[in-house]
Chains A and B, each alone.
Chain A
Amino acid sequence: MRLRTRSFRASRTTAVVAGAVSTALLTLTGCGAADMTKQASPFANAQGAKTVTLSVQSWVGAQANVAVAQYLLEKKLDYRVDTVQIDEVPAWDALSQGRVDALLEDWGHPEEEQRYVKDKKTIVPGGDLGVTGHIGWFVPTYFAKQHPDVTDWKNLNKYADRMRTAESGGKGQLMDGSPSYVTNDKALVKNLDLDYQVVFAGSEAAQITQIKQFAKEKKPFLTYWYSPQWLFKKVPMTEVKLPAYKEGCDADPEKVACAYPHTPLQKYLNSDFSKNGGEAAALLKKFKWTTEDQNEVSLMIADQKMSPEEAAKKWVDSHESTWKAWLS
């Protein structure tokens, strides 16, 4: 009997505490509706500084964009910049909620574009980045020089046993990278009837590390890779020709049997930030540079292991004419 009353009281206490917590929560945030579309990071605008939050994707090119934008925003316009690393698809989501203000390099996400830009209007396009991206299959140039016919997909099967690794189970290995990257490789291997196994490195870092190790030993390999990319300067690679890309040939993910398109990379801004972001938003909209510019900065970050800030400073110091136009 006593036990029952006690547990009853305990649960009442619990209820009282829970009620108190939720009341406190409500008074703390105001009782009205909470706007889920305007939720800046708690670290933004600390100490009254004007801040911009930029999303960084996991590849170094994206880091280079952000490094230079950050440097200019901080040194020339007196902003504080927060950076957050997010994968591409979640970055769109964060952008729509205002957790990040801008996404500087997008490789094409039609579904998200439809949802957020056209339907919800929480994101607005920020224009071209000036860089054209291209995904493809690559072999190291030292191998392509010895065996020039490897650069046509029709001859890939001939070299399958040279590309074999412990992971590829008796077939040749086609190395893919991060799961966040756009890829049709599994379908391509199947539809082009290739004697290859797609092995996912799981992250770009793992993939780069492995490519460097292969190159050090001058071993042949076949990998999913993309340009612009700084690694080409360290490990020269030659693209393997796949059946030519035609508009819409990659519409059905199961039946793809053609190469990847060339994509002019895009910038996107949170629509609120685009309207009220002042000088920062203006700068990010005008930000436009070339593939060479991006590679220069990327190489400094990834290969010479400079901090992104140092790399950006070096580039900014030597390319005044380019960025002056973004500030005007």
Chain B
Amino acid sequence: MATITAAAPRATAPGVLERPVVRKLLLLALVAAILVPLANARWASGTWPSALTVDFSEQLTKASVWIIDNRDSHPLFVYFFGHLSNAVVICVRAVYLVLLAAGWAGVTAAASLIAWRVAGWRLAAGTGAAFLACGFLGMWIPTMQTLALMVVAVLASVVVGMLLGLAAGLSDRMDRALRPVLDTMQVLPAYAYLLPVVLVFGMGVPAAVLATVVYAAPPMARLTALGLRGADKEVLEAVESLGTTARQRLLTARIPLARKELLLGLNQTIMMALSMAVIASVIGAGGLGDRVYQALASVDVGAALAAGIPIVLLAVVLDRVTCAAGESLGDEPQPNGRARWLYALIAAVAIAVAGRLLGRLDWPDAWALNVAEPVNRAVDWMTDHLYSGVPVIGGTADWAAHFTTGILNPLRDGLQWLPWWSVLLIVATLAWLIGTWRTALTAVLAMAAIGVLGVWGPSLDTLSQVLAAVAVTLVLGFATGIAAARSDRFERLLRPVLDVFQTMPQFVYLIPVVALFGVGRAPAVAAAVVYALPAVVRITTQGLRQVDPAALESARSLGATTAQQLRQVQLPLARPALLLAVNQGVVLVLAVVIIGGLVGGGALGYEVVAGLAQGDLATGLVAGAAIVCLGLMLDRVTQPTERRAKKGA
């Protein structure tokens, strides 16, 4: 909470902003003075009054039963969703068959050669090594399944995203209408809409692909719109003066000018789709995510890691290659570039055919590395020696217990003890002090919606876990970020570690956190911290490094110590970046709440998981909606006044 109040504008410019702040507070106090006694007299209870809740469970259950009963016969399904579903299956199958037909040698060669043409030989070597590593880990087939799924999901997301982006980029009205839609698509935790998607499409690949599109299309849409809007006015006028039609202008000038943004959008879409590949495994998408999930069942961290590494490798390779493609866009086209593409194509086909003729289509079983065993030994050692009874500092289980009783319990009990109207008031105050009355209104309405949905208690429990996790993340993230900003070497060492943490599927570290911290809310917080930390570290480091060197130089010349420079120059100047780090920390921690439900975090996360596991639309959807509302509220409360141009970038 401390970080949030510190964000009030008063700290920077007391003289100017003092009055609006006081005015806002006075107005709020007035509103409160009128409304609170009324509310209290009518519904005198600490928690959200039951008179103000609406129970949707009956309707939702009815809806889900209706879908199941009519899914095989109703025209809506038979003539629309059914075809959609079949089309997805056919596309994924086609890609999968091509990948299988190319064999491991052909796929590896093709990937490396594409990387070579797009990004140079170094990345080509890296790409080849990454694909071979997937084979050595014994994950070739699951990797191909995931790849097939990804290709289709990314293509679909790009098409949908570009269509939305075109609409938003060309028409202001569409832009205004689409913005809240895209916001919701991104704030919604993926888990929350898995269930409805599954109900309509059934378990498996079609549902997984469609859920991925919902999640991965927004960055493409945003960046397409941004690119179209940012096109150079003079160029456009020049093109227009040639007497072109609007369509010609779009195709020959605006879209080519927006290439950089389009590629960045593609990059973001790929990353988000890949992170979804694992979550989609809980609805039967198969592939690598499923292997991670299955390993979890037999409490086998090593096997989970063996399936997690290919995901990390795919993510890193795809990220680097698309980034490199974006950077080389402005360069002069190389001489005989087309011919080289042709050579690359011929080489890839030749290798694939050679692999076929040699009968080496499947990855040879003998070529396998066993990483599972050493990893499991390491995890066992860790839990044997760190869990409890470590001299002086105590074991991790003791820390977890202290953390639960000392921080999580008081925080939860405190929040749940607060009268409901005072929670709304606090939210309103914070959001208004940081943003405008619109942000305050959104935040209050979101919080009120939670009460209306009838999950006030569990939501505050989740909120307490999120706040605790964000606090820990920020302390660790700022400290690491400051260290990384001061030492280039440390930053270089840190980068691959952050890459791994950011792309490693969260399922992989569920067992280690339970083994270290026991079942409960403490491991849930730990998992959230691991997930949110890299982003906070990165933003902090970048923010500190971008501080004007002149300001730092002048402070140094005045004889300021390193600590003084940091406190009085760097941190204040990097304030926007730090605020962004807070905001991203909150959003990312909230994204892991559901994973927390799998290790005893309880509250909303558990209910969403339970809803999916039991096929209970009412429980799952209501809890999912509450998470969305919490996310909306927290985002608004931590949103610095000016909105960022793009999210998720």
Residues of A within 8 A of B (CB): 3, 5-7, 9-11, 13-14, 17-18, 21, 25-26, 28-29, 33-37, 39-43, 46-47, 55-56, 58-60, 63, 82-91, 93-94, 97, 99-100, 115, 120, 122, 165-167, 169, 175, 178-180, 199-210, 213, 216-217, 301-302, 305, 307
Contact = CB atoms under 8 A, between A and B. Distances in A.
B202 A13 contact: no
B204 A39 contact: yes
B397 A26 contact: no
18 contacts: A11-B171, A11-B174, A14-B167, A28-B87, A29-B90, A42-B96, A42-B148, A84-B284, A85-B297, A86-B284, A90-B198, A90-B613, A94-B284, A205-B297, A205-B299, A207-B519, A209-B519, A301-B298
Contacts of A89: 613-615
A56 B167 CA distance: 44
Given A165-B518, A206-B510, A179 B297 contact: no
B511 A37 contact: no
Contacts of A41: 89, 204-205, 286
Contacts of B546: none
Interface size class of B (residues with CB under 8 A): 35 or more
A35 B82 contact: yes
B518 A213 contact: yes
Contacts of B598: 202-203, 205-206
Main DSSP-derived SS at the B contact region: helix
Interface stretch (B70-78, B462-470, B561-569): B70-78
A34 B85 contact: yes
B63 interface: no
Contacts of A169: 409
Interface stretch (B263-271, B436-444, B601-609, B637-645): B601-609
A14 B163 contact: yes
B215 interface: no
A137 B595 CA distance: 26
Contacts of B606: 179, 200, 202
A185 to B, nearest CB: 13
B85 A36 contact: yes
Which 7 pairs of residues, A with B, have the shortest CB-CB distance?
A: A34-B82, A179-B610, A180-B613, A7-B171, A94-B203, A42-B93, A166-B404
Nearest to A33: B78
Given A99-B284, A179-B606, A120 B72 contact: yes
A10 B167 contact: yes
A58 B297 CA distance: 5
A18 B163 CA distance: 9
A82 B286 CA distance: 9
Nearest to A209: B514
Contacts of A91: 203
Interface stretch (B29-37, B118-126, B288-296): B288-296
B578 interface: no
A34 B372 contact: no
Contact of B519 (A10, A94, A199): A199
Interface in B276-332: 281-284, 286, 290, 293-294, 296-300, 302-303
Q: Report which residue of B170, B405, B515 has the largest number of chain A beta carbons within 10 angstroms of its beta carbon.
A: B170
Given A29-B83, A120-B72, A204-B297, A7 B613 contact: no
Interface string B610-637: 1011110000000000000000000000
A38 B167 CA distance: 37
Nearest to A301: B298
Nearest to A45: B93
B298 A60 contact: yes
Given A10-B167, A26-B83, A89-B615, A36 B71 contact: yes
B246 interface: yes
A99 B203 contact: yes
A89 B286 CA distance: 18
A75 B173 CA distance: 62
A83 to B, nearest CB: 7
B501 to A, nearest CB: 20
B475 to A, nearest CB: 21
B298 A29 contact: no
B204 A94 contact: yes
Q: Report which residue of A9, A85, A305 has the largest number of chain B beta carbons within 10 angstroms of its beta carbon.
A: A85
B9 interface: no
Interface in B61-116: 68-69, 71-72, 77-79, 81-87, 89-90, 92-93, 96-97, 100-101
Contacts of A97: 202-204
A201 B84 contact: no
B457 interface: no
B600 A29 contact: no
A217 B282 CA distance: 33
A302 B298 contact: yes
Contacts of B172: 3, 7
A167 B520 contact: yes
B157 to A, nearest CB: 14
Contact of B78 (A3, A34, A209, A301): A34
A46 B102 CA distance: 13
Contacts of A14: 163, 166-167
A167 B519 contact: yes
A78 to B, nearest CB: 15
A213 B517 CA distance: 10
Q: Report which residue of A100, A122, A202 has the largest number of chain B beta carbons within 10 angstroms of its beta carbon.
A: A202
B198 A93 contact: yes
Contact of A46 (B96, B159, B405): B96
A201 B524 CA distance: 11
Interface string B489-530: 000000000000000000000110011001111110000000
A261 B245 CA distance: 75
A13 B284 CA distance: 36
B540 interface: no
A46 B97 contact: yes
B296 A205 contact: yes
Interface in B130-169: 145, 148, 159, 163, 166-167
A120 B73 CA distance: 11
B542 interface: no
Contacts of A90: 198, 203, 283-284, 612-613, 615
A180 B167 contact: no
B295 to A, nearest CB: 9
A205 B514 contact: yes
A273 B101 CA distance: 27
Nearest to A175: B519
A68 to B, nearest CB: 15
B221 interface: no
B416 to A, nearest CB: 12
A261 to B, nearest CB: 19
Given A28-B90, A200-B600, A210-B518, 8 more contacts: A13-B166, A21-B159, A34-B79, A87-B613, A94-B284, A179-B610, A209-B514, A209-B515
